[in-house]
Structures are given as C-alpha cells and as structure tokens.
Amino acid sequence: MTYIFGFVLLLGILIFIHELGHFLLAKAVGVRVETFSIGMGTKIIKFKHGETEYALSLIPLGGYVKLTGQDPREEVPKEMEHRSFRHKSLLQRTAVVLAGPLFNAALTVILFVVLYSSGAPSQAPVLNRVLEGSISYQQGLRSGDWVESLDVNGQNIRVLEQSDLGKAITANVGQELTLNIKRESSWTKDAENMQFKISPITGMARDPNLGVFKEQGILPGVEEQGRAPLVQVAANSWAANRQIPDGFWIESIETQIGSFTQSFNVRTFSELQNLWSYIAEQAPNATEGQIILRGQSTQISEGEESAETQQPVTESYTMAWTRADDKMPSSISDAGFSSSELVVIQVMDGTPAAKLGLAKGDEIRQLNGANIQSFQSFKSRLQELASAGNSIEISWLRGGESMSASVQPEKVSTTDPVTETEKQQFQIGAAFLALPAPPMTYKLKADSFGHAIQLGWDKSVDLTVSMAQSFYYLATGKISHKTLGGPILIGKIAGDSVKQGWEAFVRMMAFISLNLFILNLLPIPVLDGGHLLLFAVEAVRRKPLSLRIVEYWTTAGFLVLMGLIAVVFFNDLSRLGLFNYFKS
C-alpha cells in the first residue's frame, strides 16, 4: 500500500504541475482549453467549470490538456479561430508547449529550496580514503578529513558537498591548492582546524552522478570510496578465541567496561582502528569487561574478484574478559583483526591465480615491485600493466613469509554494477573481501533563504547537465539501456522514499520532475520536444509543414515512444526476476 500511495502521490503531483503549465499559458494567450485531465483513458471523475472540463482518468501514467485547434485535422468554426491554438502566433504556441517542461524545472528548483531551507541530506565533502605513503598522506591529509574550503590563486572557494569538492579539484588540476580542513573525532567530537597544500592531478574516477569512469581531477593517493569496516581474524588470536567470524562487517561497538558504557557507530575501517584505540585508552586498568560487536557477515559471489553482502541480517558477538592478563588489547591488530581487503579468501580452479600458487589467506603486497595498499589500486594497476602487455610479478605474504611469482591475467567479460554495460577487463581469478564504506552524509542547511535559492538553483543546474550527459552516454553505449526504469521502478523508488521520510520523498520528486523536464524536451514526436522541433522548422520555412508530413511525424513518434515504453517495462520486469522462470 505504501508503494501504491507513493507512486500515485508522486506522479499525481508531477503530472498536475506539468499540465498546469500548458493550461495557464494557453489561458494567458487566449487559447480555449476544452479538457484538463490528470491521467489517461477512461475518466473516473469529471466536472465542468466555465468552458473547460476537468477530469481524473483511470491510467495514472500521464495527463493532457486538450486545446481547441491543437489537432491539425480538427475543423475550427470561423467564430472560434481567435481562440484556436493553431491560429495563434508561432511565439505563443511555443510558449504554451514549453510551459509544461518549464513548470517541472521550476518545481525542481522549489523543492530543492525547501530541502536546503530545512536541511537537505547531502554527501559530506570528506576525503574518504587517503592511502598511507601517498603524496597526500605525506602532505598531512588523512582519511575522514572534512574539507570546508580551499584557496587557489588568492580566491577562497567554499565547499559544502562532495560534488563541490570534486568540481573544485577538477577545475584546478596542476594548481597548488590550500585545503582548509576540519579534523574531527566521530565519538569525542573534538575538532581541529588545519591547512594543507596539495596539487591535484588528472586521473580516472567514477562520476558520482553518472556512474561512468572518466578523466577528472583527483588528489594523488586519495580514493573516492572509503574502506569498509570489514575484518578478518587471525587464528588463535584474542578475537578468534571469542568466536568472531572472518569477513564480519562491524557496524557498531557497544562497551561495558566498568563505568565506561557507551555505543559507537562505525563507518570505515580507519574509524574502527581509531575507535578501538580510544576505547582501550578509556579503561587501561580494567580487569574485566565486555565489548559487543554488531554488524553483518559477507559472502563471496562465485567468479567475482570482490565479495558482496548478502541480505542484511544483524548479528552480535560479545568479547568479554575477566582477567587483567586477558583484557582487551590496545590496538585492533593486537586483537587479531586485520584488513580483509587484500587477503585472498578464495582461488578459482584453473585460473591464473591457481597457476600462480596463490592460496586462501595470502595477502597481496606488491605488483611489479610497487606497494599496493588498496583493492582499488590493485585492480587499476593490474589493468594498466596487463593492457600494456607487461610481465606482472605479484608479491604476497603467507604466514610471515614473502613470496612472489609472475602471472599473465586473463581477459574476461564483466558487467559494470553501476552502468550495467558489458566490458572486458583482466582478472587473475582470486576473490577478496573488498567492499566500499557507505558515504558520509549530513544535513546541509542554507545560511539564509537567499542562500537556499542559490543552492537549489545550483543543484538543479548541475543535475540537468548530468542528466543531459546521461543521454549521450546512453547513445554511445557507456551506460546500458538496462539502467532505464519505468512505472514499476518509479513506484518502488517512491514507496521506499515515503518510508524514509518526507525529505527523501521530496528529493526523489525533485529528481523525477527534472527527468520529466528533460525527457519532454527530447525531439521525439508526440512529446513536447517533438512539437518544438516542428515549430523550429516552421520558423525556418516561414510556414507550417503539410498535414501529411505532420501525420507521418506523429506516427513515427508514437512508434518510438511505444518502443521506449516496452524497453522500460522489460527492464522493470527483469529487476523483479520475472524472466528467471524461463531460464533453464
């Protein structure tokens, strides 16, 4: 019921606003409006006020405003020509058609203004991961640093969201930046304000809005995703003796050590390391106590080089001690926990990894003599070396012993989890527990109403540019048509957002309203953009196209639209797993 309510409310508002734009502009230029309908097909509710019939129709997948003289085949009585759509000037007709999409765009801006006025959930402008030993690390930057602003060429650029940080870095590649950092402890809330100088470089990274990998500005050694608080447990260690499983994602820690009783949420592995040390410092002489870990287990997906979390099921493990010589170790590594990111958890038979001699428990250390510190850098470096045809020597650690051997990765076809495109990439056939941490979010509240308007406008413009680019990437195959969704997906998204609260619902409405703005401007017959294209041709020719050409144009547009609807419905049903029943 929540999904139906969310779907009807979302589309109902968006359709009403779109058709209201056409309606008001038609009235403004003197065009007679015969029908104003929300929905298509059979009219469920209808009433007439003045010269216009208002209706609520059965199929909630659109709406329409019927204008006198809009259909070129319609005969308009001479006494009504001054109220006829087609007898209005080209500029007036263009305004009426353009008003619907523009009202959707205006709604998007208004919704974002509302969100920023009350506090919009946003991705914080933090450095999600700074690799040890990298240039950024040597300059003093650390994982979790919050970038409040940056100075370049005497100009101070305020940074409010992760997207702001990305744009500023890309715009200043090669320039020396001064990053104004706030370094805050997630649990003590103690904060330091610091400054560091760094010069961005050009690199490949995933676009946060589009999901495609493209060349953009990056800080050397800073990765766009944090490292998940996933742990492996050393045999016979303090943690292993307390039955903590391998591949456990720690989401929170609760302490019960004397008077020190508190709960802490954990987002990244670096937070986990720092939190463990902090807890140990609070009760250094405690001879008894317990720590409760809550989180979820992970599992390998067959044939993948990284693991996936299964259906989330929260699990709890209690680590207790009753003697001083068995108390909580001072560091997470002393407790027997280690990063699971570069530790092999499975080797597939017959793969280069199996021929190489890799085994479960081996920890990757180097590629061709260069240290590897993250799964992301391991994958990207492997692709780079294999694509160049170089011999690749992998070094790993096994039980304290360093080992190495040469390998030739195999090229396999994989599906990008974000863009759903097929791509060729090199793999060695080993699986790792390598999952990204969720992004850090916070509520971004505007300083004033004027600031909220500026933020709402900027967000709408940024998303419009990204959505327009997405059509280009769809056309060129960089984003798969499988990512397109229809009514079923919209209904699911609407229902999920209703469950999350009004802010999530309003944000989703803003996104879909902006989608409607762009989609309706596409030069496809039947859509508003198709009509605008005909008007452009008319402006060049200085007379309308013949009725026959317009009919061909409309028929072609109808077929294209039906094809698009078929694709999105197929994608929706595929997501539901309907077609799995037909697979052997």
CB 270 within 8 A of CB 144: yes
19-31 residues labelled b (16+ CB within 10 A) or e (exposed): bbbbbebbeeeeb
The pair of three-digit structure tokens given for residue 357, joined into one six-digit string = 């001699």
Instruction: Please report, for residues 72, 81, 464, 554, the alpha-carbon distance to residue 550 in angstroms, rounded to integers and kept in the order given.
Output: 9, 21, 30, 6
Q: What 3-state class would DSSP assign to 349?
A: coil
Summarize pLDDT for 414-470 with one digit per residue, the tens.
877 777 788 888 899 998 888 889 999 999 999 999 999 999 999 999 999 988 888
Percent of the chain past pLDDT 90, that is, above it, reads: 39
CATH assignment, 230-292+309-336: 2.30.42
Q: What is the mean predicted confidence (pLDDT) over 191-215?
A: 86
pLDDT score, position 297: 82
The pair of three-digit structure tokens given for residue 429, joined into one six-digit string = 């056939």
pLDDT score, position 500: 81
Q: β-strand 248-257 against 401-407: which pairing, if any?
A: unpaired
Residue for token pair 């060349």? 215
Question: Which H or E run contains 472?
Answer: helix 449-476
Q: What is the mean predicted confidence (pLDDT) over 118-145?
A: 93
Checking if the pLDDT of 303 tops 60, the result is: no
Taking the C-alpha atoms of 534, 536, 538 and 542 in order, what is their torsion angle to the nearest 10 degrees?
180
Q: What is the mean predicted confidence (pLDDT) over 226-232?
A: 88
pLDDT score, position 304: 43
pLDDT score, position 312: 54
Which of 17-21, 57-61, 355-359 shows the lowest per-residue confidence on average (mean pLDDT)? 57-61
Question: Residue 122 contacts by C-beta under 8 Å, 6 or more apart in sequence?
Answer: 160, 161, 162, 441, 442, 443, 444
Q: 340: how many CB neighbours lie within 10 A of its CB?
A: 28
The fold adopted by the segment(s) 344-432 is Pdz3 Domain (2.30.42)
pLDDT score, position 302: 40
Q: How wide is the angle at C-alpha 184 spanned by C-alphas 225 and 259, nearest 5°?
A: 115
Q: Determine the residue type at 85.
A: F
* More confident site: 490 or 112: 112
Instruction: Please report, for residues 14, 133, 141, 147, 388, the alpha-carbon distance to residue 180 in angstroms, rounded to integers and kept in the order given.
Output: 41, 21, 11, 6, 39
Q: Across-strand partners of 149?
A: 158, 180
Please, which pLDDT band fits residue 299 given cuts at 50, 70 and 90?
low
If we measure between CA atoms, which residue out of 181, 184, 197 comes closest to residue 147? Answer: 181
Question: Residue 185 contacts by C-beta under 8 Å, 6 or more apart in sequence?
Answer: 191, 274, 278
Question: Which DSSP category does 65 fall into?
Answer: E
The fold adopted by the segment(s) 129-223 is Pdz3 Domain (2.30.42)
Which of 35-44, 103-112, 124-133, 170-179 shows the lowest per-residue confidence on average (mean pLDDT)? 35-44
Q: What is the mean predicted confidence (pLDDT) over 206-210?
A: 78
Checking if the pLDDT of 119 tops 50, the result is: yes
Q: What is the mean predicted confidence (pLDDT) over 391-404?
A: 88
Question: Which H or E run contains 357?
Answer: none
pLDDT score, position 310: 45
pLDDT score, position 306: 54
Checking if the pLDDT of 308 tops 50, the result is: no
Checking if the pLDDT of 476 tops 60, the result is: yes
CB 321 within 8 A of CB 288: yes
Percent of the chain past pLDDT 70, that is, above it, reads: 95
Checking if the pLDDT of 580 tops 80, the result is: no
Please, which pLDDT band fits residue 309 given cuts at 50, 70 and 90?
very low
The pair of three-digit structure tokens given for residue 559, joined into one six-digit string = 């077929």
* More confident site: 228 or 5: 228
Residues of the chain with CATH 2.30.42.10: 344-432
CA-based torsion, 88, 94, 97, 102: positive or negative: negative
pLDDT score, position 313: 67
CA-based torsion, 419, 425, 431, 437: positive or negative: negative
Summarize pLDDT for 153-177 with one digit per residue, the tens.
889 999 999 999 999 999 999 999 9
CA-based torsion, 89, 92, 93, 98: positive or negative: positive
The total number of residues shown for the chain amounts to 584
Summarize pLDDT for 493-532 with one digit per residue, the tens.
777 777 888 888 899 999 999 989 998 898 887 788 888 9
Question: Residue 303 contacts by C-beta under 8 Å, 6 or more apart in sequence?
Answer: 348
Checking if the pLDDT of 74 tops 90, the result is: no
Residue for token pair 């790993």? 396
Checking if the pLDDT of 361 tops 60, the result is: yes
Q: What is the mean predicted confidence (pLDDT) over 346-371?
A: 89
Which residues carry out catalysis? 19
Q: What is the mean predicted confidence (pLDDT) over 249-278?
A: 91
If we measure between CA atoms, which residue out of 295, 292, 296, 297 comes closest to residue 253? Answer: 292
Please, which pLDDT band fits residue 311 given cuts at 50, 70 and 90?
very low
